[in-house]
Amino acid sequence: MSPHLQVWRWHITMATSILHRASIFALYLGLLLLAGWLVALAAGPEVSATYGAVIGSPLGLLVLFGITVMVFFNLAYNVRQAFWDLGHGFQLKTAEATAWASIAFGVVAAIAFWAGLAIRGVL
């Protein structure tokens, strides 16, 4: 365990930094699932139906929901990093606000996306 995880008071910029790193794993899994969906589609109707059943199971949907939260969070965080690259957003208040905003965007965008899926009949 890194000492900074035990000694430091948790603050939001640190939490989002760690969350950003964690989100990479969700992105990775999501991309493999996308490639898997394409392969299943090309493999034929039976394989495609099986893949859809696994992805559409309660556990599959839960994993997918987690992935969408993380993907949208990662997206917002990367936009935040682009502003950092231009030299903006390093003021403590700004950095804390954009950290919260990136979490909020991840959650809100994912809920909006899943509301769209639900209206079309996924859930």
The Cα-based distances of 54 to 49, 58, 59, 100 in angstroms read 9, 9, 8, 34
Q: Is 121 in the site for other proteins (CB under 8 A)?
A: yes
Binding string, residues 99-118; x marks residues near other proteins by CB under 8 A: ----------x---x--xx-
Q: How far is the CB of 116 from other proteins (least distance, A)?
A: 4
Token pair for 46? 């039976």
Total residues interacting with other proteins, rule: CB under 8 A: 34
Q: How many CB atoms lie within 10 A of CB 30?
A: 19
The residue from 5, 15, 18, 35 that contacts other proteins (CB under 8 A) is 35
Residue of 69, 87, 1, 2 lying closest to 29 (CA atoms): 69
Q: Is 83 in the site for other proteins (CB under 8 A)?
A: no
Nearer to other proteins, 92 or 121 (CB): 121
Residue of 89, 86, 113 lying closest to 101 (CA atoms): 89
The answer to whether the beta carbons of residues 26 and 68 sit under 8 Å apart is no
* Residues making contact with other proteins (CB under 8 A): 21, 24-25, 27-28, 30-32, 34-35, 38-39, 41-43, 45, 48-49, 68, 71-72, 75, 78-79, 81-82, 85, 109, 113, 116-117, 120-122
